Amino acid sequence: MLASRAVRAAGERSVPWKAAAPAAVAVTVCFSALFFGGGAGNAPLVWIGGLALAGAALTAAAGLLRVLPLEAPGAPAAAYLGCLFGLAV
């Protein structure tokens, strides 16, 4: 059975490893927080938060140095980032 044109087109698109690197960092931090957070203790969470900040800084630096692809966020992404920033502050 042959796949439809849309299925073949979706199979031809692949995510390069450079574009998947920030997602891999996020998954690693979430995994660490879930399994190595230590429950109610604060000490492991400080290290996991520091790892998250370091990953975000390295991803931003790699984007600015053109090592990773950098695209301008659209209006919904800018609104989401603004709300996320407001929540963090």
Type of residue numbered 33: A
Examine the pLDDT at 10 and tell me if it is beyond 80: no
Query: Number of structural domains, the chain?
Result: 1
pTM for this prediction: 0.51
H helices within the chain, ranges in order? 5-12, 17-36, 43-64, 75-88
Among 83, 84, 16, 37, CA closest to 56: 84
Question: How confident is the model over 19-64, as pLDDT tens digits?
Answer: 777 788 888 888 877 887 776 667 777 777 788 788 888 888 888 8
Domain housing 23: 5-88
